[in-house]
Structure 1
Amino acid sequence: MSSRLFAASEVVIADVKRELADYLSGRPEIVFAILYGSAAEGRPFHDVDVAVYVDESQWVGQDRYAYIFMLADALAQCIPYPVDVRLIKDAPLPFRYNISRGQPIFARDPAALADFLSRTSLSSIEDDMRAVLDCLQLG
């Protein structure tokens, strides 16, 4: 993460999303990508947070961390900001929920994106309900 703090208008963020989508659409392993975090929310940011859902059959044998760093470096060449990339499949539910509140950048498979968004919302609601029931049972 950069120590520098950036600010960008909605128009600039829309341009950033377009540039990222142009690059990501050329990567056959990427099923969909979401811009999340401060930049997506219109707040000052240290880096642009991008979550990607990857078809792992397209990149068998690659080291996950090497892939993340390679993709972050490639995306940072497309836009004037540092980029932080996360793999959606590796993310725990609270983090997936945070990602799901972001802005889709690119979807090779819109049904997979819709499935991710709906499953994440339902799982989050189920977790919240479980926590409430646990509290009620303790009381």
Structure 2
Amino acid sequence: MLLNVFYLIIFLLLWIRDRNKAYSMNIDNIKKKVYRLSREEKQQIMAYLANFMENRKEVVFAYVHGSFNEDIPLHDIDVGVYVSGIKKEEASSYALEFSFMLGNTLKIRTDVRVMNFAPVSFAFHVVQGRLISEQDENARVQFVENIVRRYLDIKPLIHKNIREAFAA
């Protein structure tokens, strides 16, 4: 009898936890802050980011990409960094720490991604952004050449898959 009560309590606690988790994960409940920045504000942020990256010796090069580079409202600042000597299993925690530091300083949500292990299509998108820091030009040029070549190799497959997906 006592064991059945114990299992019932555990079941109820797990059910309540999962129910609360499902509610908090509901996309309708997520409100993203929208920022409308002037050109001057964006230039100040770019200068800060460039200075910040230059002082991080492990950052070989960095790009700002996404909506920050356009004259539209934005939800965050997207930054791609190439980091020397980083292991794949360290990349996520490094990016989260970097995002947290920059976000707290700038008071704008900042999404940092380590490009060393990024998918080709994502890295191609990033290098079309604005270069904000470069410690090693040769390393950056090699990375960009490699990404562009690999992207152009898979681009026909991407387009074919998109056509097939939307033809059905």
1:28–1:2 distance in 2 versus 1, CA, 3 Å:
farther
Q: How much does 1:128 deviate? A: 2.3
Is residue 2:101 matched to residue 1:74? yes
Unpaired stretches in structure 1, ≥5 consecutive residues: 134-139
Aligned to 1:64: 91
Tell me which structure has the larger Cα radius of gyration: 2
Instruction: Give, in angstroms, the shift of residue 54 of structure 1.
Output: 0.2
The structure showing larger relative contact order (alpha-carbon pairs under 8 Å, at least 6 residues apart) is 1
TM-aligned CA deviation for residue 66 of structure 1 = 2.3
Contact kept, 8 Å, 1:2 with 1:47, in 2: the verdict is: no
Q: TM-score, normalised by structure 2?
A: 0.68
Q: How many angstroms apart in 2 are the aligned matches of 1:132 and 1:47?
A: 28
Cα distance in 1 between the residues matched to 2:70 and 2:142 = 23
Cα separation, 1, equivalents of 2:55 and 2:68: 23
Counterpart in the other structure of 2:36: 7
Structure 1-normalised TM-score? 0.80
1:41 and 2:70 matched: yes
- Is 1:55 the counterpart of 2:84? The answer is yes
How far apart are the structure 1 equivalents of 2:52 and 2:105?
8
Partners of 1:21 and 1:129 in 2: CA distance: 35
Match of 1:136 in 2: none
Partner Cα separation in structure 2 for residue 2 and residue 114 of structure 1: 39
Deviations 1:104-131 (A, max 9, x none): 1100112222222222222221222566
Whole-angstrom CA distance in 2 between matches of 1:119 and 1:86 = 18
- Output the CA distance in 1 between the equivalents of 2:31 and 2:67: 13
Q: Is contact 1:100–1:117 with CA below 8 Å preserved after alignment?
A: yes
Identity of aligned residues (%): 25
Report runs of 4+ in structure 1 exceeding 4 Å deviation: 129-133
2:154 corresponds to: 127
Question: Whole-Å Cα distance in 2 between the matches of residues 23 and 131 of structure 1?
Answer: 36
Does residue 120 of structure 2 align to residue 90 of structure 1?
no
> What is the number of equivalent residue pairs in this alignment?
132
Q: CA deviation at 1:8?
A: 1.8
In the aligned structure 2, how far is the partner of 1:124 from the partner of 1:75? 30
Could you tell me which residue of structure 2 aligns to residue 112 of structure 1?
A: 139
Alignment of 1:23 onto 2:47: no
Contact persistence 2:92–2:114 (CA under 8 A): no
